[in-house]
Amino acid sequence: MVIPELPAMLEKMGGGEYKGLIVSLFTLTAMLSRPFSGRLADTIGRVPVMILGSVVCLICSAIYPMVATVNAFLWLRFFHGFSTGFTPTGFTAYIADIVPIQRRGEAMGLLSTFGTLGMAGSPALGGWIEAEISLDASFYASAGFALVSVVIFQTMKETLHEKESFRPRHLKVGWDDLYEPNVLVPCVVMMLTAYAFGVMLTLVPDLSDHLGQHNKGVVFTVFTISSVAVRIIAGRLSDTYGRPAILKLSTTLIAISMLVTGLSTETWMMYVGGILYGLANGINSPTLFAWATDLGEERYKGRAFASLYIAMEFGIGIGALISGYVYADRMENFPVAFGTSSVLALVGLGYLMVKTQGREIK
């Protein structure tokens, strides 16, 4: 809801050169908090972890209107990342607890569909609120949605059977909490393909301006709507044909979509690239999470999902940071910045083919 307006907000403060940090700082703290959220989800429960993340989102969204300096803005983005570091880990593990094994792909598709529905309408809604009322109003609206999520989470029944009361020792994480070895292949593919999302979040607002589309949220809405359209069916197909087969399709589409977007000279080309990326992401994400559910140990679901989210956030953060540096506020650099993500998606495709060759993996 607020991301499309943040680059302009930062530029008005005199921090235009830090646009790449808008996403990368957020994803850095999300990534750093994953080992903690995974451990807590497996000990104190899924629901408390979900609530904690939403409370952080509520507080940070309400503080944005008070920020007046570049340093304060960047620190707030840093702390805001804790929201994404906790809530998704909790609800992904929650879904895995209650869904039959043979329908995991479909369930992850359904879960990601509802998440994407929020992403589909909110950028355009945030842009409309900013244009018709004020930028501050869009931040307060974001805080309001976070408050509603807290209320909903509090009504949910905990699914972790051996739940413990919180103790400070639960915040002590070891190397085992940082990484679940059984989900290495999905993590590598996630990292290489998530780079493209960091590029999209960082550069699409400026690309939209350059091509004459001044409501920067519209492009995000286009690619998230196309993503919604395929998520459930992609999950079902991965249940039927196996996760690797579907992932080979999605990584190929990501590579193509990034080339189209980076070479856009007209608005319609940018929209085509956005649609293709939405389709690719809609196939990729639920399939990877279903695969992590398949491969992860039953008692360490939180850790398995935390590992996958760490890979995702690392990819997004690096994509945002590097693309912002390569772009450097010069429109002629768009092809290289987007093209890099296309190359990495193809590397992910090659890695996937090597690791699954000759294996019957679902």
Under 8 Å between Cβ of 351 and 188: yes
The verdict on residue 168 lying in a domain is: no
The token duo for 153 is 């989470």
The token duo for 167 is 């103790």
Amino acid at 142: S
Helices 243-262 and 217-241 pack at an angle, to 10 degrees, of 160
The verdict on residue 192 lying in a domain is: yes
The verdict on residue 190 lying in a domain is: yes
The verdict on residue 344 lying in a domain is: yes
The predicted-structure confidence for 346-362, as pLDDT tens digits, reads as follows: 999 999 999 887 554 44
Under 8 Å between Cβ of 248 and 352: yes
CATH code where residue 325 lies = 1.20.1250.20
Residues above pLDDT 90, as percent of the chain: 31
The predicted-structure confidence for 52-67, as pLDDT tens digits, reads as follows: 999 999 999 999 999 8
* Per-residue confidence (pLDDT) for residue 216, from 0 to 100: 65
Under 8 Å between Cβ of 103 and 50: no
Domain extent, residue 42, equals: 3-157+177-356
Under 8 Å between Cβ of 316 and 284: no
The verdict on residue 205 lying in a domain is: yes
Mean pLDDT of the region 3-28: 80
Identify the band that residue 137 occupies on the pLDDT scale cut at 50, 70 and 90.
Answer: very high
Amino acid at 102: Q
The number of distinct structural domains making up the chain is 1
The verdict on residue 170 lying in a domain is: no
The verdict on residue 164 lying in a domain is: no
Whole-model pTM: value is: 0.72
- Measure Cα distances from 45 to 92, 154, 170, 274, 330 in Å: 12, 12, 12, 37, 47
Residues 6 or more apart whose CB falls under 8 angstroms from that of 289 comprise 92, 108, 111, 112, 305, 308
Q: Which one-letter DSSP state was computed for residue 157? A: P
Under 8 Å between Cβ of 296 and 180: yes
The verdict on residue 307 lying in a domain is: yes
Q: 76-80, 148-152, 289-293: lowest mean pLDDT where?
A: 289-293
The predicted-structure confidence for 209-251, as pLDDT tens digits, reads as follows: 888 876 666 777 787 788 877 877 887 888 888 889 999 999 9
